[in-house]
């Protein structure tokens, strides 16, 4: 006999857990960097529009698909397609499986980057107590740790074990409990950092850069990058939110939760960007130094600045890297849950076996990611994992996997989800999930249906067309 399904204990529990999934390296690491690359203002505005017009409707779609079927991604998408087209169950299963695979691959390298935050946390603690080493070249420190294979395996193993430990205890006793503790800590640290950053001399210029749009600075690729990133940052397109939706009980509102998750994720991304840019704009010559990589901003430029420029940086430095680690952990938890929930619901495994088995299998691929770090950093190296090139210019397994997930898997998965909710499910089915008496007054079902049937699929199809034509969003 199967166990009764675990549920979130309250709407707040659901919102915190799903927001924990959404807030991650995408907010703290990727968003500030792509905002920088795309010259701020106009890019940020377009991003906000993408979040509202595409991200929010798909968030509601994923949560409602999950809540309706009370099954993880594969089962839920099967049911969604079968709602109008019983013979299409296989297609739904295939799409769900595609999402589970995306979760598997994404988790395999996400823990490696998360591991770097653990390293910088311990390093910054030692600088806080022992003083920042004068004359150290931050780039050398970064490369030194990243190219130390043993250390990298240890860090990512630590992160993977932490993830497995939480998912092992299940939805309400593991995932929700951790989110209830970690998210408030995360918000608190960010608030402290924001106050400190706004006091710096470059903050006004940073705010202008981020919020004053100048459309001559933004090209078509920037627009698509904003759209592509809205999927990644909201954990959409691979069934994570379908899975979390399957633990929502009838009493709780999909619409309210979606609004809160999307709003919190967006605010945190903006706050992180304001903090980082305030620091960067306050230091002479720093802009030129923020060169060609995301890694550069978070792990090369910032550590030193905490100890030389930021008010209370000796305290904020270690706190910042704890923040990155906590944000990453609540995301890796949701990735492992996608894979584990599939094994539990569709393959009949117990939660304990599913979590440990999936965690161990994914870690095998994490070792591939670690072994391919030289390829990622452009350091000359030998061996297939570091030198393989399936996609143009993506050298090594790490870069290949990231490219495949962000460019191909999330948009195609997201496209299918818009079809499932907008076209395969009946109007009555989606309406009864969204308009169940728990919805807030601002919500209009007809508007949602228009966005999920037309706006979202067309926008996502545009990403896919551009990816096919060779544009790169990873
Ligand atoms: N939303 C996460 C971030 O912004 O870092 C990444 C992510 C987590 C994507 C979980 C997908 C997912 F299922």
User: What is the number of structural domains in the chain?
Assistant: 1
Return the pLDDT at 1.
43
**Beta carbon of 107 within 6 Å of any ligand 1 atom:** no
Here the tokens at position 166 are: 């939480």
**Beta carbon of 406 within 6 Å of any ligand 1 atom:** no
In a domain, 2, yes or no: no
Give the residue ranges of DSSP H helices in 296-426: 302-308, 313-347, 351-371, 373-377, 384-387, 396-403, 410-419
Q: Nearest 10 degrees: CA dihedral of 83, 89, 92, 98?
A: 160
**Beta carbon of 262 within 6 Å of any ligand 1 atom:** no
Q: Domain range holding 252?
A: 11-468
CA distances to 44, 110, 173, 336, 353 from 160, in Å: 33, 10, 19, 9, 15
Of all protein residues, whose CA lies closest to atom 9 belonging to ligand 1? 235
In a domain, 474, yes or no: no
How many angstroms is it from 21 CA to the middle of ligand 1?
Answer: 6
**Beta carbon of 25 within 6 Å of any ligand 1 atom:** yes
* CB atoms inside a 10 Å sphere around CB 438: 15
Q: Determine contact, residues 254/60, Cβ cutoff 8 Å.
A: yes
In a domain, 446, yes or no: yes
Give CB contacts under 8 A, 24+ apart, made by 463-466. Answer: 463/224, 463/227, 463/228, 463/411, 464/411, 464/412, 464/415, 466/221, 466/224
Q: Is the pLDDT of residue 111 over 90?
A: yes
Q: Give the position of tokens 């297939």.
A: 384
* CB atoms inside a 10 Å sphere around CB 143: 17
- Would you place residue 292 in the very low, low, confident or very high pLDDT band (cuts 50, 70, 90)? low
CATH number at residue 387: 1.20.1740
How many angstroms is it from 431 CA to the middle of ligand 1?
Answer: 27
pLDDT tens, position by position, 18-69: 999 999 999 998 999 999 989 999 999 999 999 999 999 999 999 999 999 9
Q: Candidates 240, 265, 404: which one to mutate for ligand 1, based on the most atoms within 8 Å of Cβ? A: 240
- Would you place residue 3 in the very low, low, confident or very high pLDDT band (cuts 50, 70, 90)? low
Q: Determine contact, residues 413/424, Cβ cutoff 8 Å.
A: no
- Render the burial of 287-316: b for 16+ CB within 10 Å, e for the rest: eeebeeebbbbbbbbbbbbbbebbeebeeb
Q: Candidates 331, 342, 409: which one to mutate for ligand 1, based on the most atoms within 8 Å of Cβ? A: 331
In a domain, 391, yes or no: yes
In a domain, 330, yes or no: yes
How many angstroms is it from 225 CA to the middle of ligand 1?
Answer: 16
Here the tokens at position 363 are: 């870690």
Cα separation of 417 and 61, whole Å?
7
pLDDT tens, position by position, 416-472: 999 999 999 999 999 999 999 999 999 999 999 999 999 999 999 999 999 999 888
How many angstroms is it from 393 CA to the middle of ligand 1?
Answer: 24
In a domain, 101, yes or no: yes
Cα separation of 193 and 122, whole Å?
19
* CB atoms inside a 10 Å sphere around CB 401: 23
Q: Nearest 10 degrees: CA dihedral of 255, 259, 262, 267?
A: -170
Cα separation of 375 and 332, whole Å?
23
Cα separation of 387 and 397, whole Å?
8
Cα separation of 231 and 107, whole Å?
16
In a domain, 198, yes or no: yes
**Beta carbon of 238 within 6 Å of any ligand 1 atom:** yes
What global pTM score does this model have? 0.96
pLDDT tens, position by position, 204-226: 999 999 999 999 889 888 999 99
**Beta carbon of 26 within 6 Å of any ligand 1 atom:** yes
Cα separation of 329 and 166, whole Å?
10
Cα separation of 249 and 243, whole Å?
13
Here the tokens at position 116 are: 């770097």
Q: Give the position of tokens 């691929």.
A: 365
């Amino acid at each position: 006999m199967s166990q009764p399904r675990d549920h979130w204990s309250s709407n707040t529990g659901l919102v915190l857990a799903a927001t924990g999934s959404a807030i991650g390296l995408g907010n703290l690491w990727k968003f500030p960097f792509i905002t920088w690359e795309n010259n701020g203002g106009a890019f940020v505005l377009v991003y906000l529009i993408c979040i509202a017009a595409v991200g929010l409707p798909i968030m509601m779609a994923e949560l409602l698909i999950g809540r309706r079927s009370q099954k993880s991604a594969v089962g839920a998408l099967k049911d969604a397609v079968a709602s109008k087209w019983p013979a299409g169950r296989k297609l739904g299963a295939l799409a769900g499986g595609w999402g589970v695979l995306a979760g598997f691959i994404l988790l395999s390298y996400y823990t490696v980057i998360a591991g770097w935050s653990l390293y910088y946390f311990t390093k910054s603690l030692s600088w806080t107590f022992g003083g920042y080493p004068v004359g150290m070249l931050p780039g050398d420190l970064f490369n030194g740790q990243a190219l130390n294979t043993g250390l990298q395996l240890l860090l990512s193993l630590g992160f993977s074990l932490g993830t497995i430990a939480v998912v092992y205890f299940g939805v309400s006793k593991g995932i929700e409990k951790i989110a209830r503790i970690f998210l408030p800590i995360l918000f608190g640290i960010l608030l402290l950092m924001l106050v400190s950053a706004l006091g710096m001399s470059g903050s006004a210029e940073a705010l202008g850069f981020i919020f004053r749009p100048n459309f001559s600075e933004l090209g078509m690729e920037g627009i698509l990058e904003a759209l592509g990133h809205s999927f990644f940052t909201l954990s959409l397109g691979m069934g994570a939110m379908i899975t979390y939706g399957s633990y929502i009980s009838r009493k709780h509102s999909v619409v309210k939760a979606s609004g809160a998750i999307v709003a919190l994720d967006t605010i945190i991304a903006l706050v992180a960007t304001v903090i980082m840019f305030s620091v960067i704009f306050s230091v002479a010559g720093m802009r030129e130094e923020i060169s060609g990589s995301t890694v550069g901003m978070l792990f090369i430029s910032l550590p030193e600045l905490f100890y030389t420029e930021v008010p209370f940086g000796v305290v904020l430095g270690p706190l910042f890297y704890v923040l990155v680690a906590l944000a990453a952990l609540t995301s890796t938890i949701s990735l492992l849950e996608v894979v584990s929930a599939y094994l539990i619901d569709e393959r009949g495994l117990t939660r304990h076996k599913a979590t440990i088995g999936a965690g161990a299998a994914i870690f095998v691929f994490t070792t591939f990611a670690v072994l391919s770090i030289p390829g990622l950093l452009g350091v000359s190296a030998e061996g297939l994992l570091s030198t393989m090139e399936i996609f143009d210019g993506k050298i090594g397994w790490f870069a290949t996997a990231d490219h495949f997930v962000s460019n191909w898997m999330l948009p195609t998965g997201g496209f299918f989800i818009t079809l499932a909710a907008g076209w395969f499910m009946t109007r009555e089915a989606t309406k009864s999930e969204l308009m169940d008496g728990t919805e807030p007054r601002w919500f209009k079902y007809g508007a949602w249906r228009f966005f999920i049937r037309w706006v979202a699929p067309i926008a996502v199809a545009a990403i896919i067309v551009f990816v096919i034509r060779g544009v790169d969003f990873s």
